[in-house]
Structure 1
Amino acid sequence: MTELHIDLLAEPLWPLLNKFYRRHESPMKALKGGQLWVARHSEIVAGLCLSTVVGGQWLTGVFVDPAFRGHGLAARLIREAVAPVEGTVWLLCHPDLERFYAGIGFSQQTVLPQSLAERLVRYKRNKPMIAMGLCRQV
């Protein structure tokens, strides 16, 4: 795979991540107030969002352009984005993704902050979901 650059997206460029999601018909959305991380290969080819919650960060919006999948890009992007995080990084995902996230160090053995626990209950009404966490100490 050719050279990719992973970095924090500057606030004035935030609309580019939502444009990337829409171009790929992804339901993902960049959350205002979060940290938006992207991988670029002349243009955005992957992205994610980290939002502050009590005790850590909430990881959402992980999406990789289908043409760039299968090369470990999502794992690399997540690792770089969470490297400076202190506390726990939580995510809510479909159970089929448990193995992928476990490979990065996430575990279902986590205690969610109340805001995410409530969100998980709501999400589980419509689809199967699990919560995972990664404890980060810098």
Structure 2
Amino acid sequence: MTAIAYAQLEAPLWPLMNKFYRAHQSSMKASKDAQLWVAREQEIVAALCLRSAANGYWLTGLFVAPDVRGRGIARSLVDAAVSSTEGAPVWLFCDPELQGFYEGIGFGMADDLPQVLFERLIRYQRNKAMIAMGITR
């Protein structure tokens, strides 16, 4: 088993992140206005986007390849990305069923969302159950 590396993806390699999402039939997409973070063994095995939002960041697109789930890769990738924010708050939206997972890595319910994210959350909640969570380190 190869060691997993967690790092921000360099701009010339951004297409690899969308290739990863497509290979797993994920509807997620890399956002060019975000920091793109990946976990790699040799190939990408997990990815997420970290976008500037108000006075912090918005974490989106967290996906781990099904064949490597349960190894703590999501936790380590989120930790690497959040650690890069130098203490700025990080928010995310998730299905309520994932609340326990995110609480396990330090997130809590977000009661103080920036207006731009609050409005987006309200729009998302029209179509599916979503909650907002946040962390500051």
- What's the TM-score, normalizing by structure 1? 0.95
What CA deviation, in whole Å up to 9, does each residue of 1:4-25 have, x standing for no partner? Answer: 1111100111111011001100
Query: How many Å apart are 1:87 and its aligned residue?
Result: 1.5
Residue 72 (structure 1) aligned with residue 72 (structure 2): yes
SS in 2 for 1:87: coil
Query: How many Å apart are 1:84 and its aligned residue?
Result: 2.1
Alignment partners' CA distance in 2, 1:14 and 1:132: 27
Q: Contact 2:91–2:132 (CA<8 Å) still a contact in 1?
A: yes
Unpaired runs of 5+ residues, structure 1, are: none
Which amino acid in structure 2 is aligned with residue 49 of structure 1?
C
What CA deviation, in whole Å up to 9, does each residue of 1:35-70 have, x standing for no partner? Answer: 000011111010000000111000000000001101
Alignment partners' CA distance in 1, 2:84 and 2:62: 18
SS in 2 for 1:2: coil
Alignment partners' CA distance in 1, 2:76 and 2:27: 22
Residue 15 (structure 1) aligned with residue 15 (structure 2): yes
Q: Contact 2:91–2:110 (CA<8 Å) still a contact in 1?
A: no
Alignment partners' CA distance in 1, 2:67 and 2:131: 27
Alignment partners' CA distance in 1, 2:103 and 2:47: 19
What CA deviation, in whole Å up to 9, does each residue of 1:68-102 have, x standing for no partner? Answer: 10111000100011102132100000000000000
Report percent identity of matched pairs.
57
Matching residue of 2:53: 53
Matching residue of 2:90: 89
Alignment partners' CA distance in 1, 2:117 and 2:82: 18
The range that moved more, 63-72 or 80-89, is 80-89
SS in 1 for 2:84: coil
